[in-house]
Amino acid sequence: MIDIQKQIAYWSNSAAEDWDVARDLINRDGRSLQGLFFVHLSLEKLVKALVCKQTNDIPPKIHDLLRLIELTKVALSPEQKDFFGKMNLYNIEGRYPDMAFPKPPLERAKLYLEQAREIIEWLSRKL
């Protein structure tokens, strides 16, 4: 028997830790590419917590934010969908360095960090 509350707590707590790392990498260290990888990771884990809540099951072992959010039945705005698509690129870059993307400017990383904060707060209210 799966303890769904334990799963939700695991994913949401882990998302919060990754969010702290993302903020430090971008705001303190100026490491935009690595920071955005952790932004993606934080979003992914928070969405996985929501998948647990909505499906009463363990989330699939995938990283695509758009595929994961579909499992929650949460409707995204067009802007949120676009943002999730952008964040998916930083997941790929972080895992597959042979698919080199240009390093994002620090200003863009800070903008994405702010957009992610808003989405994280919105998703957290759904837990």
Candidates 37, 12, 27; CA nearest to 101 is 37
Q: Which residue, chain included where needed, has tokens 């904060």?
A: 117
Would the pLDDT of 94 be above 60? no
CATH number of 4-125: 1.20.120.330
Long-range contacts of 105-111 (CB under 8 A, 24+ apart): 105/32, 106/26, 106/30, 106/32, 108/32, 109/26, 109/32, 109/33, 109/35, 109/36, 110/26, 110/27
Instruction: Quote the pTM value.
Output: 0.94
Q: Please answer whether residues 48 and 68 qualify as being in contact, where contact means their C-beta atoms are separated by less than 8 angstroms.
A: yes
pLDDT of residue 103: 83
Q: What is the pLDDT confidence band of residue 98, given thresholds at 50, 70 and 90?
A: low
